Amino acid sequence: MNVPDSFLESLRQQVDIVEVVSEYVQLRKNGRSLTGLCPFHNERTPSFSVSPERQMYHCFGCGAGGTVFRFIMDIEGLPFAEAVAYLAERQGIALPAHFGVGRTASNPKLERFREAHALAAKVFNHILMNTDAGVQALNYLLSRGISRTTIMSYQLGFAPKPGNVLIPFLKRKGFSESELLECGLAVELGSAVTDRFRGRVMIPIADRKGRVVAFGGRAMDEGVKPKYLNSPEYELFHKSQLLFHYHLARKAIRKEKQALLLEGYMDVIAVQQAGIEHGVATLGTSLTEEQAHLLKADCDKVVIAYDGDQAGRKATVRAIDILEGVGISPLVLRIPDGMDPDEYIRANGATAFARLLNRNTLSVVQFLLDELRQGAQLVSAVGRTEFVRQALRILAERATPVEQEYELRNLSQEFNLSVETLKEELRTFSKQSKRRTFGRETSGSKTVAQPLARADQQASIRLLQAVLFSREAAEYLMEKGLTELAEPVQTALLSNLYAWRLENPDGSPSAFVDQLEDESLAHFASSLFFYEVPEFSTALLDDYLRALELHRLEQLHRSLLRQWIEAEAGGDEERSTEIKLQVEQIQDQIATLKQPRAIHAE
């Protein structure tokens, strides 16, 4: 990539990494850095740090790290050139001459797919709003309380039942049949290639940047299966990784500090029209872990407002587990009479739904107890006993002490049991729950306590920092002939640092990280920015060099001692004497290095 270093440095200084990362990760102040849950691996305890001062990020859990360029590369799956272009566009900065050509050429096929979908959305919307073919569909939407303003806002449309309308139009625009088949707008019927969607209300599905990449089509004729038909998956559309309305809802989700998770497109449109803007929906599938991670970047709470029927309640239970698995606290909206949100709003109005959202939201424990009650046989003594036991199990595994106290009193009153008896039984379930939890954590946890770094490892970190952050220190260490550090990865990074320093004596440390082609070295280099950087003096550098030499001599001393013992045991007096002299020399050198010296503050 032929981009001037001066442009990259200027862009790097103008982009605030905290602002960029905050669009994907909830960050909280922690000393001089900000921390959050890493977006690159599963974790419940934050190990992801961002330094506003040094404009770097690093995860101490999975090792991901680098500058804002690396973050966009990792989070959006872009090559370096496209990450630079993305950030320049975000800042409103013009790219250098000829840069745009390289960017477009990186994946022209995907740009064509986006263009085809954008045109398709306009065609479908025009048919709905301006032609006789769209009258029935338009009346249907208006009858459901969806206004013309909302229709235009969501670019809702209609695909006529005879079909073969969209494909001829797009072919006139220069798109080939193979392109339209590959991105899911066309389908082969016998020997003909025709429109995939026919006789359906069309709902555009956008990616995280608001670009149309797929459609959901709702059948107009009763009895047509499936009722909702989505575009097939291809490079730009993976149902498990997107949420409907997410690009529009993010701002409201961050403001409300929670999301409203709905089951269908029409539910989202209905609640948004009712003035509730933080609603999103899955794309015809159960909630996935990838979708939960999307939400986790913007909020810690999610209200699940699935349909109130049995299928909706089962889906709610699954969603609770997924959300809790990524560290989100779920709540559940109980909608009366088995209705879905769209039906409730049409029947009772927007104000009633807003009131329901405020008053009828249950905790997970309350929802699970309510779900348990739905299937309980409370008319029999055995059924009542089993219900109480299962309720206590839920309280033991999921409830806070306050919730336990509250629900125990309710159970006591309802079933005429003493609170003390219920608490005794609860303690039994609590012990069982703790044993199961302990077993899962000890067998499945990937995080183990790490031993403290050895003195030579710590010295190696400091020496790497010296070369990275100080030109004078780098020159001093090169003159001293330092070429090897405690660990192979440290030695490899030192070699790269020397080469970079020789070419860029006054280069920016951030620029060094960006030019590293080895991703593992780039991640390791980013960690150097998150240790305190001392004022490097020659005396301090000598101390670090001495720590390295001392460790090397101690290792050599241990090796010679083993050889000495083997020589004596084998009766080889000549070799034993030779090794003894070497041991004594090493001992003298170690003693010299360990002599007290002036303490240099870091």
Kindly report, residue by residue over 137-158, the tens digit of the pLDDT.
999 999 999 999 999 999 999 9
Q: What is the pLDDT of residues 7-50, one digit of tens each?
A: 888 998 899 999 999 988 889 998 889 999 888 877 778 999 99
What the block records as the tokens of 451 is 């031993």
Q: What is the pLDDT of residue 288?
A: 92
| Stronger pLDDT, 73 or 392, i.e. the higher one | 392
Q: What is the pLDDT of residue 434?
A: 53
Distances (CA, A) of 524 to 56, 147, 330, 508: 12, 54, 36, 17
Which residues are registered as beta bridge partners of 237?
Answer: 234
Instruction: Give yes or no for residue 503 having a pLDDT over 70.
Output: yes
pLDDT at 153: 95
Q: How many residues does the chain have?
A: 602
Q: Could you tell me the two tokens for 526? A: 């980013």
Q: How far apart are CA 201 and CA 136, in angstroms?
A: 10
- ∠ CA 291-320-267, nearest 5°, is 65
CA 440 to CA 75: how far, in whole Å? Answer: 30
Phi-psi region at 508: left, alpha or beta (left = phi > 0; alpha = psi -120 to 50): beta
Task: Give phi and psi for 331, each to the nearest 5.
Answer: -125, 160
d(C-alpha 360, C-alpha 356), whole Å: 5
For residues 253-268, average pLDDT: 92
For 470-506, where are the alpha helices, taking DSSP H only? 471-480, 488-503
Q: Which residue's entry shows tokens 């025709």?
A: 194
| In the chain, % of residues over pLDDT 90 | 54
pLDDT of residue 453: 55
Pairing of strands 56-59, 48-51: antiparallel
Supply the mean pLDDT for the chain: 87
Residue where the block lists tokens 């990937």:
446
pLDDT in tens, 304-326: 999 888 888 889 999 999 999 88
Amino acid making up residue 444: G
User: Radius of gyration of the chain from Cα atoms?
Assistant: 32
d(CA 71, CA 56): 9
How far is it, in rounded angstroms, from Cα 393 to Cα 427?
A: 10
d(CA 487, CA 476): 21
Tokens describing residue 307: 């349909």
Starting at the edge strand found earlier in the chain, the sheet holding 212-219 runs: 157-159, 200-206, 212-219, 228-230
The 3-state DSSP class for residue 228 equals strand
Q: How far apart are CA 320 and CA 329, in angstroms?
A: 8
Q: Strand pairing partners for 280?
A: 261
- Note the pLDDT of residue 563: 87
Per-residue pLDDT tens over the stretch 401-424: 999 999 999 999 999 999 999 999
Task: Give the pair of three-digit tokens for residue 4.
Answer: 């001037």
pTM: 0.66
Backbone angles phi and psi of 398, in degrees to 5: -130, -25
* pLDDT tens digits, 272-295: 999 999 999 999 788 998 899 889
